Amino acid sequence: MAYQRVLLKLSGEALMGDLGYGIDPQIVSDIAKDIAAVVASGVQVAIVVGGGNIFRGVQASAKGMDRATADYIGMIATVMNAMTLQDALEQIDIPTRVQTAIAMQEVAEPYIRRRAIRHLEKGRVVIFGAGSGNPFFTTDTTAALRAAEIDAEVIFKATKVDGIYDSDPAKNPQAKRYESLTYSHVLANDLRVMDGTAIALCKENDIPIMVFNLFEKSNIVRAVQGEPVGTIVGGSCAVK
Ligand code: UDP
């Protein structure tokens, strides 16, 4: 395996499948099986889950809701996803802990960095719920933050496409996929890989981001084995 400790960023939409809202249990179960294969190979896996399949603060605030309140609701939505994924992992005997950035100790541990690292060292999957605990942030930025905190070697950003293209592959059949890109290129060209805050945080901490298609079979395992399954952003190995 190319990595020892990785951080996987799953958007809420990844758990939704084709449903349009909420959680598709079959998709979650498939993702859990892929994660189990990675864990079985001895790689430590931390996960940040989004909440966009249930609630997005920025959308609700555009319709008149107070932004901070809407963002707190969005963060709570991510905890539902985190607990769902925990259940799917534990169904297949992968010990998993959810840690939340907003305390809800009846259902999950509070986020404690050293404890999260200890869980990982023991081979448990750690899912970080409730984003960063702060409104006006995203779970992409949370992924960058937690990856830096726990010393993850790489962020795997699971998406619906197999990397970053120079134009929209859905609209342009000639669109070219990048194998690797610098953080600066992503920021300067406003490529919508992750929000700018997340990219900047990764750049500052030299954490590479692998953008890959979650829905191709075994892609998580292949990515962790170091296969170029998508586009890698930044990191000395990736700079073009
Ligand atoms: N959110 C937040 N602070 C954070 C992370 C998330 O306020 O640190 C809120 C925000 O309202 C966001 C929602 O939680 O819209 C769901 O997260 P996100 O949109 O990042 O999920 P994803 O797009 O990955 O599904």
Atom of ligand 1 nearest to the CA of 135: 7
46's CB contacts (< 8 A; 6+ apart) are 5, 6, 7, 8, 116, 120, 125, 126, 127, 128, 146, 147, 150, 152
pLDDT grade for 67, boundaries at 50, 70 and 90: very high
Q: Residue 167: pLDDT above 90? A: no
In a domain, 56, yes or no: yes
Burial category of 196 from C-beta neighbours within 10 Å (exposed 0-12, middle 13-18, buried 19 and up) = middle
Split into its structural domains, the chain has a count of 1
The ligand 1 atom at the shortest distance from the C-alpha of residue 60 is 11
Name residues contacting ligand 1 (CB within 6 A).
11-13, 50-52, 56-58, 70-71, 74-75, 77-78, 131-132, 134-135, 137-140, 142
In a domain, 61, yes or no: yes
141 part of a folded domain: yes
Residue 105 resides in a domain = yes
Share of residues in the chain with pLDDT > 90 (%): 88
Q: Which atom of ligand 1 is nearest to the CA of 75?
A: 14
CA angle 77, 125, 27 (to 5 degrees): 55
Q: Does residue 240 sit within a domain?
A: no
Range of the domain at 19: 5-233
pLDDT computed for residue 240 by the predictor: 46
CATH (domain of 115): 3.40.1160.10
- Which is higher by pLDDT, 168 or 109? 109
Residue 160: what pLDDT?
Answer: 86
In the structure, what pLDDT confidence band is assigned to residue 238 with cuts at 50, 70 and 90?
low
Q: Contact 51/139 with Cβ under 8 angstroms?
A: yes
For residue 235, pLDDT beyond 80: no
Residue 189 lies in a domain: yes
Contact 16, 24 (CB under 8 A): yes
